[in-house]
Structure 1
Amino acid sequence: MSFSFDHPLSSHHLSPPCGIDFLGSDSDNAEESVVGNVNRFAVVPPGYVAKPKQGHLVFDACFESGNLGRVDYITEFEYDLFIRPDTCNPRFRVWFNFTVENVKSDQRVIFNIVNFSKTKSLYREGMSPLVRSNSRPKWVRIPAKNVYYYRCPDHRKNYVMSFIFCFDREDDIYQFSYCFPYTYTKLQNYLDSIEKKYPEIFTRELLCLTVPSINVSIFPIYLLTYSMMKKYMDI
């Protein structure tokens, strides 16, 4: 069963808020310092101190390739989301990948990702975010009619991407992403399989370590002998 995007809130295009500026260069200022991913963070109305109820959304980005640093409650239907910047350059803020759970059936929300740094984006050309859930693990795109990308003076003229979504299953965990994630672990598993399959022509060497001490590999290119070509390329 696929997601249903036909519901009242998404039957029309989002209208840009008043005062939107569509011009200008890349934004240099993050809304505020965002450090660390949210970790099963329940967003409740201001002043609410009891245990979160069904429909009080729980956000999480503490997983490989996850990125969501902060969530602000605007109304029960709307949330402002702040993405964390690149590790070595706080000016670059593009990627997001997070999960949402503890939803109510037919709960409709607007998510505003409020601190994009890029002036130009494929979201202006019809691209839209991806969504999947644990009962529907295949990624699908949110319809472009439910997505709007604009520059917002209410957020220091940062670029904002707003999209509407309707949750339909209370027991599902929903995942939203900028585009198709490709994790470091998936890459390493693929390279391991290639190295085992072609040990004579494919080897990895350590080039350096990243800031978080992750291996960066280099792949020397060797000349293929005719016998190797016959073995690996079926000639």
Structure 2
Amino acid sequence: MKRIVIKVGSHVLTEDGAIAKPRMFALVELISELKAHNYDVILVSSGAVSAGYTQLPLNRNIVANRQALAAIGQPYLLKMYQEKFAKFNLLCSQVLLSADVFDSKKHTEHAKNAIDTLLENNVIPIINENDTVSIEELVFGDNDRLSAHVAHYFDAILLVILSDIDAFYDKDPNKYDDARRRAIVNKIEEDELNAEHTPNNEFATGGIVTKLQSADFLMKQGREMFLASGFDLSDVRSFLVDGEHKGGTLFTA
């Protein structure tokens, strides 16, 4: 089995202040298809805060409120995943991690053993940062970096980031009509890694920079990352199922 990590961002899972259920179902359907094509899939899913907001619209600019929204939204989000995976006779599980898990070899091994056991029993691990207690993550961090660490420390061959950003371009495609997609990237420049973060919606905490930083981390570990659209899954399906690189960007050393 080929082990991969798929990370889906808040902007993909959220629309008009609610969870975008058709996009979530399309993601679950893709994972089911990948399972049939000999992939083991670990899912890193954002969306707990936005899911909580659909149930209790607190002011998200207050950290304590975001923690509360995460506490409300995490089980709600998992329930929606459970219902959708059940349609494909698949069981999913919740794994909440904090950053210090990867600071200790012992803790990392314990977490990996749990992930290995879930995958061996055909269960989809759904990983998220423990937003209710991880204050730094809520203010500064994002699941891009978390997913890169999951891919490396849990022995995945590839991280797939599904985003509102469908690829890495030579310039901002929202500003320049002549921006060109970079299909394969072997090196990321320092100025690109240190640019200002540009999250694209009210629930997002990352942007293209955090994705580049994640890709750079994995490339230095000898691993790969694929960035593609989470709104239209045809590019990632072509890449993973058909072995055709039609769209998106592959970061590989």
TM-score normalised per structure 1: 0.28
TM-score normalised per structure 2: 0.27
Q: Return the index of the structure with the highest Cα Rg.
A: 1
